[in-house]
Amino acid sequence: MARLVADPDRGGDVVVAPATPPGVSALAVVRLTGPPGLTLAVARRIAPHLADEPRPREAALHRLVGEDGRPLDRALVLFFPAPHSATGEEVVEFLCHGSPAIVAGLLAAARAAGARPAGRGEFTRRALANGKLDLAEAEGLAALARAESLGTARRALSLVEGELSRRVSAARERTLDVLAELEAALDFAEDVPGVGMRAAADALEAVAQEADELVAAASRGGARDRRKVVAILGRPNAGKSTLFNALVGRDRAIVTGVPGTTRDAISETCEVGGETVTFFDTAGLRSTEDEVEKVGVAVAERAGETADLVLYAVDFVLGRNEEDEEFLRKGRAAPVLVVGTKADLAGGNAEERREGCFEVLVSARTGLGLEALRALCAARLGLVEADGELLVLERHREALASAASSLREAGKLARSAGGAPELVAVHVREALSALGAITGETATEELLDRIFATFCVGK
């Protein structure tokens, strides 16, 4: 991959930043990166007994001093020589105690020794410039740091590990092969046999189909990465709040035997099918003269209209009544899953009574059916993860769609009577530029600035 500019103005500087979030913690990491020799010189001002040539990737305990030379902390120091580091430069990491005062003291000492504060994503941008990763992999690192669920983290890791980059690079190579034939025919028309335009069109269509598949992966990933909403509805005292608390894993909603206890929609997030899902507990659905409860019922109805899935709770002991049937007869945009609650009170004929009335029976008291309910929620929400799912970001999707369009236009010209190789080549180059923007070969400084502005400092 072509080297990209990490920092056109100050690329030779030693930079410093905390690599862990602010706040009190057991440990914090402060990271230095920069040219060989200069980075170690800064580090030795902070850890005076650090060897001239520390053992690579071996943690050693050192006393650290502040900018005034007074003791600051005892911490582990790790040295990564260039080019065998995350950034491709010389890297030193301090694993210190997580006191904000100690972290601030380390940063001040590094600045006094000649380092400057790192910009957003500057460590990753330097890694990009030094060929340690490509642009899609760099974006995967940011997505991995932001992941809210295991599913999102796994897809981000596939991006970091280069799965998308490999597929895009392979598509780009096949496109380059076609362009090479076209350009050879144009530059050496007398010596090179004519290009098989139909074969070229077929090759371009195959690459366009690969781009289409990746665009489809982006659509699936986008649907999965949008946080789903589940609303729990039902009559008063149907066990909605108890079910809500059991699903989210803590006593978030008040539970009493008094009908109408819940007056507003209460939300909480938890993980379902490896993804983060927001659950809403709502007021019981019934006719009421209480003005406050009326508002709560209206809020519950709106929650049901906007949710991705409705769990309609029915007290299993009492069974479904006409009010339940009326609710279930109404057509709704979101699927409705009928849940029989308080199943531990039903006795031995629970399964017989379930048929045709309830899709799942649960007991929040004993845990009966909760895992089955979570699995049903995951299936209805489309959160059942397939092996090998890719994270394809919106920027990648747009570039892939652009490449597919250019490739098909090139193929159309190649198939037309008297298709001119020079016109076909123009569209093929456009496709190559779009594909290259994904992995960084054709990325502009403006694009890099925009991408890395979304990174955290220290990444």
Query: For residue range 243-272, what is the model confidence (pLDDT) as tens digits?
Result: 998 888 877 655 555 555 555 678 888 888
Q: Nearest 5°: phi and psi at 124? A: -70, -35
Residue type, 99: S
Q: Does domain 144-222+395-452 have CATH number 3.10.129.10?
A: no
Around 189, how many Cα atoms within 13 Å sit in the side-chain half-sphere? 4
Q: Does domain 228-380 have CATH number 3.30.450.20?
A: no
Q: Which two tokens stand for residue 23?
A: 């706040």
Query: C-alpha angle 320/326/329, rounded to 5°?
Result: 105
pLDDT in tens, 425-450: 899 999 999 999 999 988 888 888 88
Q: What is the rounded distance in angstroms from the CA atom of residue 375 to the CA atom of residue 383?
A: 9
Q: Nearest 5°: phi and psi at 188? A: -130, 55
Given a cut of 50, the residues of the chain with pLDDT beneath it are: 1-10, 191-192
The domains spanning 15-127 and 228-380 adopt the same CATH topology: no
Q: What is the rounded distance in angstroms from the CA atom of residue 164 to the CA atom of residue 391?
A: 8
Q: Which two tokens stand for residue 191?
A: 């010596």
At 170, is the secondary structure helix, strand, or coil? Answer: helix
Q: What is the rounded distance in angstroms from the CA atom of residue 310 to the CA atom of residue 381?
A: 10
Q: Does domain 15-127 have CATH number 3.30.1360.120?
A: yes
Pairing of strands 116-117, 15-18: parallel
Query: What pLDDT was estimated at residue 352?
Result: 53
Calculate the CA 376 to chain-centre distance. 24
Task: Count Cβ atoms within 10 A of the Cβ of residue 234 and give its class: 0-12 exposed, 13-18 middle, 19 or more buried.
Answer: buried
Query: What pLDDT was estimated at residue 450?
Result: 87
User: Which of 208, 172, 120, 114 has its CA nearest to residue 449?
Assistant: 120
Long-range pairs for 446-453 at CB < 8 Å and ≥24 separation? 448/4, 448/5, 448/125, 448/128, 448/135, 451/121, 451/135, 451/138, 451/139, 451/395, 452/119, 452/120, 452/121, 452/122, 452/124, 452/125, 453/120, 453/121
**Helical H segments across 47-119, by residue range:** 100-112
Query: What pLDDT was estimated at residue 419?
Result: 62
Query: What pLDDT was estimated at residue 417?
Result: 58
User: Which of 204, 164, 158, 161 has its CA nearest to residue 181?
Assistant: 204
Query: What pLDDT was estimated at residue 182?
Result: 82
**234 CB contacts (<8 Å, ≥6 apart)?**
240, 284, 285, 312, 313, 314, 324
Per-domain boundaries in the chain: 15-127, 144-222+395-452, 228-380
Q: Which two tokens stand for residue 322?
A: 């006409």
